[in-house]
């Protein structure tokens, strides 16, 4: 009963106005991605997402995955056919290295396409999503022969990938990891142990599944410094690349979960499985983080993606459902009641979701473009600035956009009233699916600690200082413009709160680390609001400029101004509450004895 | 895998310190409910909830209800036996009228027991919960012979009750109601139409089901003024009260829902069913509101109830699960890692849930005691004040405590990381179950409009003025006390924001009603925070007094002070954000064209 239409116009607006595609000089790495090609790819990706992935979203949720007695796993009806279409269309290799068969287009474009696919069917999009992360890790850390052996198959999509980190006794704290790797005479390792929560761990979509597995080499030091990363494929490839010998690893069970039922979340048993070291021994965590950082941005995209499709379906219902009368007098006096959209509180929920979606899309695509710049720019200073932005914003995008994704899904569900609670309407699935994004790839509290405990202080606070300077400059340059002052005023207030919070942390967190921990989630959301508000204000500026130039998309541009105004009116005021919480410190949070809880 | 322990100590603290049980003169209606009897009842109710209801919570969710071809509905395994135990113990008649077999104890006590039962098994507790509402409506509006015929069976629990309001085309807007009632020669009516979302509409727990049905008498005016309320039992009782003749009504389907799977949510078809008018013709809506107001408080209790059990299970996990090290240095150096509870961000989530639970419990029980006072007090002024509080706080308790219930369930689930997403751990069920409480009995946006559009202005704003005076007086009386000033300071700031928001509404909502609609949800939460903060501060005062008097429950009392401090530090600052949003008005919320969404 749900529907989906990819927001291609909005993506193109962001690429043009915020990322700068087609403006000034071409961005490094974007040389091939002309505005016309980009538009054509996005249109086609949107159509594919809506027509191939989305029709399987509710049926996939209802049916789920099935594990058979031999450990094989079947995906829901229609998934295999749709995956083949996906593979044949080459969507999986969009931004992959042409050396191994990829199309070499910008990551920014892949992020946009990933949003569409995740909106249409998040559980499905995870299969190729995890493969992308594994590709990135192998490309960054693999030996040339490993790359040659695995990457072409994975980029082509005939093989998929996974990440194997979690064990029953260890989630966030990977130092507790027990899976063992015993060196063999031929240079391989025998891996033994149990991994849990392995997304796409076993399924019937691909010919082979390439597991990247964290394990401890026999005799390695304890803690995180003794962890190595291994490649352990389901089928062992021979020298010709043909994979026929079954490895000693298997899916022991599929977890029953709240949502993403169509993705097989597996218990994976490694019983002396053959694996090969990926990257250096004992430096597996670092190698895994290549994958994690990419995955974290991907999870932020999922937050946006669910927020977007939930918004669309909430808005459709609100326009059509007749119930009650407008407070200002009947809007449709010829009908038995007015459509829900006349009610301010219904709009409050939809506008909130919309404002976060549009700003979130801009923040994601702009950040993805910084990844492209960091990869491709010949200018070391530009590269450094791009890397700084990327490091600072990765936890924010993961943590804030997934929290907002759940909130948007809950609000859009609320628009449907009782129908929102009924499975066939599909809104409750969005809530259930969105919920995992706050948890996996590092729970959002871990993102917040990464931000406050690590990213803020890196290089003497260079990244956050650059952010302050950039946003401050924007406010300064535009505050005198009467069309923009309403945005710069709200943004400047938010920025001020963020700067105060940062100063407080500098003064209070070193002497008492719990003050940092107690502040972390609020700080992450405070930075998120300012970053999203900045994107919002930049879009308003572009909208105002477009209107002044007499653009023919007047209503689209006007709506950008309204949505940014709503952001300043209704969303930005939260920064003050975050600041107040942060400066209250850790006292009342830490005072109870553990057994008083 | 979940567990539950009723918070009897906390309930008794609230009854003693906030409601005033056992202090000063006995409250009217509480004469029988001595502190000792109250404690004994609560202990037994807690045991019953934990031992009889709770073990069926996860199994009931998994199994759900089954509709058979003949329209009969089977509840999950064990429910019928547990319901019989519930009935035999007399829990359903705790606060019911002794004239019809009830025990005549205060509603306040029933609300406390209802919290325990709803924590333990919300879907189960709904069966007797709906019966209570139907009892209240029949008692308030029934003819003497109707009361005599129905109430003893319903209070005894052999018969249960339902509310039938919603139809496919009408939810909130009952003016669109189409179900018809045709008068018969014998004074009965033939009712025809379809009702949807009927909780406990059909099941196997009771001998008979008494449906209260809103319908339009043939020829009645359109809109809400032409609606009447009818009693239409599943089996028609003869003059002896024996119910053997099947009425022409049936369950057409059970809805598949996000949660509360163990409660049968039915499509009910009335095919010329026999019904009798309850109350006056065309005044059905008013009669239904008797039931609705009671039901709304009951739904607020569900929000608290899920918040409480989710908190308990999150806290249990946080104390036991070893993961990572405290920021301030290892807390359990002899173990491979520290328990989660050392991490400030884990505490942030648990303390937030805890602070809302404790303040919510106080607000609910205090408000329920105002209902008892309104029923029983011989003093008209006292009665009026109690009714004012009740009217003002009913939408706040329904809307705010159910929103907080979801948030608490989400936070407690987050504490478990990936395990929180897995069905067997039970945390995700709390989220799914909690979600309905924000929707049914009037979606929370409708509660907010009831508050801002109706309750605020009633009797010249008498209720809100009295609230301002009461909270202001508390702040004034206690601000000089060094042990209490931290609480009065936070509370006074919140009260100030609330007063400013109220003034803004007075000045801006009459001229432009959309300003009221745009403010409504923020205003409801702002009032909720101040009311909960007031409860919190009163508990802190009672805690400080208890400590000064050398009470022997030192740690319990100390924890009250800490939790109230956390409320002021971390939760109350949100009032400023609500105020800022309210005074931004309706402009940016209403500016988009409907088809721009």
Rounded distance between C-alpha atoms, residue B511 and residue A401, angstroms: 38
- CB pair distance less than 8 Å for A257 and B428: yes
Q: Name the domain boundary from B415, B443, B471.
A: B443
Do A344 and B518 make contact, defined as CB atoms within 8 angstroms? yes
* Rounded Cα–Cα distance for residues A574 and A579 (Å): 9
> Domain boundary residue among B417, B443, B469?
B443
Task: For residue B537, list chain A residues with Cβ-Cβ distance below 8 A.
Answer: none
CA distance B299 to B428: 19
Burial per residue of A443-479, b for 16 or more beta-carbon CB atoms within 10 angstroms, e otherwise: bbbbbbbbbbbebbbeeeeebbeebbeebeebbeebe
Tokens (6 digits) for A523 = 């700080």
Of B259, B305, B295, B299, give the one whose Cα is nearest residue B65. B259
- What is the per-residue pLDDT for B24? 59
The answer to whether the CB atoms of A593 and B555 lie below 8 A apart is yes
> How far A336 CA sits from the closest chain B CA (Å)?
7
A427 domain residue, yes or no: yes
Given a contact cutoff of 8 angstroms between Cβ atoms, the answer to whether A355 and A311 are in contact is no
CA distance A432 to chain B (A): 8
User: How far is C-alpha A127 from the geometric centre of its chain's CA atoms?
Assistant: 14
Our CA-based measurement puts residue B99 at a distance from the nearest CA of chain A, in whole angstroms, of 37
What residues in A contact B169, CB-CB < 8 Å?
322
pLDDT in tens, A2-23: 999 999 999 999 999 999 987 7
The domain boundary residue, chosen from A400, A424, A444: A444
Could you list the pLDDT tens digit for every one of the 597 residues in chain B? 899 999 999 999 999 999 998 775 566 667 778 899 999 999 999 999 999 999 999 999 999 999 999 999 999 999 999 999 999 999 999 999 999 999 999 999 999 999 999 999 999 999 999 999 999 999 999 999 999 999 999 999 999 999 999 999 999 899 999 999 999 999 999 999 999 999 999 999 999 999 999 999 999 999 889 999 999 999 999 878 888 899 999 999 999 999 999 999 999 999 999 999 999 999 998 888 877 888 999 999 999 999 999 999 999 999 999 999 999 999 999 999 999 999 999 999 999 999 999 999 999 999 999 999 998 899 999 999 999 999 999 999 999 999 999 999 999 999 999 999 999 999 999 999 999 999 999 999 999 999 999 999 999 999 999 999 999 999 999 999 999 999 999 999 999 999 999 999 999 999 999 999 999 999 999 999 999 999 999 999 999 999 999 978 999 999 999 999 999 999 999 999 999 999 999 999 999 999 999
Whole-angstrom distance, CA of residue B403 vs CA of residue B420: 20
Query: Is B115:B361 a contact under the CB 8 Å cutoff?
Result: yes
Q: Which residue has the tokens 């694996």?
A: A275
Contacts of B573 (CB under 8 A, 6+ apart): A576, A577, A580, A581, A584
Q: For residue B286, with 0-12 CB atoms within 10 Å meaning exposed, 13-18 middle and 19 or more buried, which class applies?
A: middle
Gap between the Cα atoms of A11 and B43, Å rounded: 59
Confirm if A27 and A19 have CB atoms less than 8 A apart: yes
d(CA A586, CA B94): 44
Residues A299 and A440 grouped into a single domain: yes
Q: Max alpha carbon distance in chain B (Å)?
A: 84
Task: For B38-101, give the DSSP string.
Answer: HHHHHHHHHHHIIIIIGGGHHHHHHH--EE-TTS-EEPPTTHHHHHHHHHHHTGGGTTS-GGGT
Find, among B250, B201, B208, B235, the residue nearest to B70 by Cα.
B250
The reply to whether residue A344 touches residue B514, judged by beta carbons under 8 angstroms, is yes
Q: Are residues B328 and B354 in the same domain?
A: yes
Q: Measure CB to CB from residue A589 to each of B421, B516, B566 and give the nearest one.
A: B566
Q: What pLDDT score was predicted for residue A25?
A: 58
Lowest mean pLDDT segment, chosen from A208-212, A286-290, A373-377, B85-89: A286-290
Strand pairing class (A180-183; A208-217): parallel
Check which CATH number belongs to the domain holding B397 and give it.
1.20.140.10
Task: Assess whether A460 and A388 both reside in one domain.
Answer: no
Kindly state whether residues A436 and A297 are assigned to the same domain: yes
DSSP category for residue B454:
I
C-alpha distances (whole Å) from A74 to each of A170, A210, A540 are 28, 18, 47
For chain B, the helix, strand and coil percentages under 3-state DSSP, each to the nearest 5? 60, 10, 25
Half-sphere exposure of B206 (CA within 13 A, CB side): 28
Given a contact cutoff of 8 angstroms between Cβ atoms, the answer to whether A444 and A388 are in contact is: no
Write out pLDDT tens, residues A484-497. 999 999 999 999 99
Residue B80 lies in a domain: no
Q: Is residue A91 part of a domain?
A: no
Quick one: A417 and A514 in the same domain? no
The answer to whether B108 and B19 are in contact (CB under 8 A) is: yes
Could you tell me if residue A533 is inside a domain? yes
Strand-strand pairing, A159-164 and A208-217: parallel
Q: Are A417 and A316 found together in one domain?
A: yes
Strand B159-164 versus strand B208-217 pairing type: parallel
- A590 → chain B, closest CA residue: B344
Residue-wise DSSP of B474-494? HHHHHTT-TTTHHHHHHHHHH
Q: What residues does B277 pair with on adjacent strands?
A: B230
The closest of A525, A532, A535 to A579, measured between CA atoms, is A525
Residue A526 covered by a domain = yes
Q: Where are the beta strands (DSSP E) in A247-353?
A: 249-254, 265-277
pLDDT score for B427: 98
Return the structure tokens found at B116: 């325990």
**Which residues of chain B lie closer than 8 angstroms to A423, CB-CB?**
255-258
| The predicted structure's pLDDT at residue B25 | 58
Residues in chain A closer than 8 A to B584 (CB atoms): 569-570, 573
Closest Cβ opposite residue B171 in set A418, A445, A588:
A418
B77 token code pair = 């395994």
Supply A301's token pair.
């995209």
**pLDDT tens figures, A245-294:** 999 999 999 999 999 999 999 999 999 999 999 999 999 988 888 778 88
Selected for mutation to probe chain A from B577, B578, B583, B587 (highest A CB count within 10 Å) is B577
**Residue numbers in A near B588 (CB within 8 A):** 351, 562, 565-566, 569-570
- Can you give the pLDDT at residue B28? 67
CB A56 within 8 A of CB A75: no
Q: Which residue from A328, A577, A593 is facing B514, i.e. has the nearest CB?
A: A328
Locus of tokens 């906030």? B18
Q: Token pair of A399, please?
A: 């943590």
Same domain for B412 and B381: yes
Q: What is the pLDDT of residues A114-151, one digit of tens each?
A: 999 999 999 999 999 999 999 999 999 999 999 999 99
Going by C-alpha positions, the residue among B291, B48, B307, B35 that lies closest to residue B161 is: B291
> Torsions phi, psi of B358, nearest 5?
-65, -45
- Answer yes or no: is A51 within a domain: no
Q: How many domains would you assign to chain A? A: 2
CA distance A153 to chain B (A): 30
Rg, Å, chain B Cα set: 24
Q: Do A588 and B562 touch (CB under 8 A)?
A: yes
Looking up tokens 């005198």 gives A480
Q: Are residues B352 and B297 in the same domain?
A: yes
Q: Which of A409, A405, A403 has its CA nearest to residue A526?
A: A403
Domain-embedded: residue A111:
no
Question: Which domain covers residue B343, as residue numbers?
Answer: 287-443
Partner-chain contact A410 B577, CB within 8 Å:
no
CA pair distance B280, B293, nearest whole angstrom:
19
Helix (H, G, I), strand (E, B) or coil at A190: strand
Q: What is the dihedral of CA A567, A569, A573, A574, to 10 degrees?
A: -50
Q: B227 φ, ψ to 5°? A: -105, 135
CB contact under 8 A, A584 and B569: yes
Asked whether A509 and A451 are in contact (CB, 8 A), the reply is no
B441 is catalytic: yes
**Cβ-Cβ contacts under 8 Å, A254 against chain B:** none
**A166, A417, A420 member nearest B418 (Cβ):** A166
CA distance B20 to chain A (A): 25
The single residue of B202, B441, B574, B593 carrying the catalytic annotation is B441
pLDDT at A24 over 70: no
Chains A and B form CB pairs within 8 A to the count of 271
Q: Considering Cα of B549, then B552, then B558, then B559, what sign does the dihedral take? A: negative
Please report residues of B whose CB lies closer than 8 A to that of A439.
Answer: 414, 417-418, 420-421
Token representation of residue B149: 């015929």
Chain A CA closest to residue B449: A345
For residue B199, the cross-strand partners are: B265
Distances (CA, A) of B319 to A445, A594, B328, B342: 17, 7, 17, 9
Query: How many C-beta neighbours within 10 Å does residue B485 have?
Result: 14
* Gap between the terminal Cα atoms of chain A: 43
Q: What torsion do the CA atoms of A380, A386, A392, A395 make, to the nearest 10 degrees? A: -130
Residue A28 pLDDT greater than 70, yes or no:
no
Tell me: do B497 and B434 sit in the same domain.
no
Examine residue B548 and state whether it is found in any structural domain, yes or no: yes
Residue of chain B minimizing CA distance to A573: B577
Rounded to whole angstroms, how far apart are CA atoms A479 and A489?
Answer: 7
**Active-site hit among A308, A407, A428, A441:** A441
Best mutation target, B497, B592, B595, to test chain A (most A CBs within 10 A)? B592
Beta-carbon separation of A328 and B406 below 8 A: no
CB-based contact B343:B441 (threshold 8 Å): no
Based on the fold, state whether residues B491 and B439 are members of the same structural domain.
Answer: no
Determine what percent of chain A is predicted with pLDDT higher than 90: 92
- Between CA B148 and CA A241 the distance in angstroms is 84
What's the whole-number mean pLDDT along residues A516-532? 98
The predicted complex's ipTM stands at 0.97
The number of beta carbons lying within 10 Å of the beta carbon of residue A525 is: 22
A570, A579, A595: best to mutate for the B interface, most B CBs within 10 A:
A570
A112/A368 Cα distance (integer angstroms): 9
User: Cβ contact (<8 Å) for A344 and B418?
Assistant: no
Q: Do B576 and A573 touch (CB under 8 A)?
A: yes
Residues with Cβ within 8 Å of residue A438, at least 6 apart in sequence: A303, A399, A402, A403, A405, A406, A444, B414
Q: Tell me how close the Cα of B236 comes to any Cα of chain A, in angstroms.
A: 30
Between the CA of residue B331 and those of A230, A509, B265, what are the distances in Å?
Answer: 33, 19, 49
Q: Which two tokens stand for residue A452?
A: 């406050």
Read out DSSP for A61-83? Answer: HHH--EE-TTS-EEPPTTHHHHH
**Residue B319's pLDDT is what?**
97
Check residue A171 and report its DSSP letter.
S
Residues A430 and A552 in one domain: no
Q: Are residues A398 and A501 in the same domain?
A: no
B-chain residue closest to A406, CA distance: B410
* Residue-level pLDDT at B32: 79
């Amino acid at each position: 009963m749900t529907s989906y239409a990819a927001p291609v116009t909005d993506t193109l607006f962001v690429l043009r106005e915020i990322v700068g595609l087609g403006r000034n000089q071409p961005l490094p790495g974007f040389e091939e991605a002309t505005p016309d090609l980009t538009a054509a790819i996005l249109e086609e990706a949107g159509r594919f997402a809506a027509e191939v992935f989305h029709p399987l979203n509710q049926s996939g949720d209802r049916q789920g995955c099935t594990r058979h007695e031999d450990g094989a796993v079947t995906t829901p009806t229609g998934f295999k056919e749709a995956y083949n279409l996906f593979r044949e269309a080459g969507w999986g290799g969009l931004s992959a290295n042409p050396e191994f068969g990829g199309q070499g287009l910008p990551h920014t474009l892949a992020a946009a396409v990933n949003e569409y696919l995740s909106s249409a069917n998040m559980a499905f999009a995870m299969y190729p999503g995890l493969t992308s992360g594994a590709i990135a890790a192998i490309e960054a850390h693999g030996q040339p022969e490993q790359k040659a052996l695995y990457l072409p198959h994975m980029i082509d999509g005939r093989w998929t990938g996974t990440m194997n980190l979690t064990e029953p006794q260890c989630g966030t704290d990977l130092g507790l990891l027990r899976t063992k790797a015993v060196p063999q005479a031929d240079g391989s390792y025998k891996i033994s142990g149990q991994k849990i929560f392995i997304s796409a761990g076993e399924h019937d979509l691909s010919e082979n599944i390439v597991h990247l597995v964290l394990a401890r080499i026999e005799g390695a030091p304890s803690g995180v410094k003794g962890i190595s990363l291994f490649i352990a494929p389901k089928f062992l490839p021979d020298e010709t690349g043909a994979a026929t010998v079954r490895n000693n690893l298997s899916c022991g069970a599929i977890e029953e979960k709240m949502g993403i039922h169509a993705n097989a979340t597996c218990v994976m048993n490694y019983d002396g499985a053959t694996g090969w070291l990926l990257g250096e021994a004992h430096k597996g965590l670092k190698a895994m983080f290549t994958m994690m950082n990419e995955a974290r941005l991907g999870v932020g995209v999922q937050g946006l993606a669910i927020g977007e499709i939930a918004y669309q379906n909430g808005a459709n219902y609100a326009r059509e459902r007749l119930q009650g009368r407008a407070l200002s007098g009947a809007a449709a006096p010829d009908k038995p009641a007015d459509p829900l959209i006349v009610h301010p509180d219904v709009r409050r929920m939809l506008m909130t979701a919309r404002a976060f979606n549009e700003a979130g899309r801009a923040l994601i695509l702009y950040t993805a473009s910084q990844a492209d710049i960091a990869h491709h720019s010949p200018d070391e200073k530009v590269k450094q600035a791009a890397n700084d932005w990327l490091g600072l914003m990765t936890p924010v995008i993961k943590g804030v956009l997934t929290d907002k994704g759940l909130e948007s899904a809950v609000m859009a569900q609320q628009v449907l009233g009782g129908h929102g609670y009924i499975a066939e309407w599909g809104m409750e699935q969005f809530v259930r699916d969105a919920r995992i994004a706050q948890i996996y790839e590092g729970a959002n509290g871990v993102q917040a600690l990464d931000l406050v405990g690590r990213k803020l202080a890196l290089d003497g606070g260079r990244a956050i200082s650059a952010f302050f300077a950039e946003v401050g400059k924007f406010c300064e340059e535009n505050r005198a413009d009467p069309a923009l002052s309403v945005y710069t005023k709200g943004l400047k207030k938010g920025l001020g709160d963020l700067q105060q919070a940062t100063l407080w942390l500098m003064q209070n967190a070193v002497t008492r680390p719990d003050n940092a921990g107690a502040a972390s989630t609020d700080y992450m959301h405070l930075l998120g609001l300012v970053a999203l508000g900045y994107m919002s204000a930049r879009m308003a500026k572009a909208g105002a400029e477009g209107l002044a130039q007499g653009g023919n998309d007047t209503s689209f541009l006007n709506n950008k101004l309204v949505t940014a105004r709503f952001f300043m009116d209704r969303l930005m005021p939260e920064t003050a509450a975050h600041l107040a919480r942060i400066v209250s410190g850790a006292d009342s949070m830490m005072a109870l004895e553990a057994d008083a809880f």
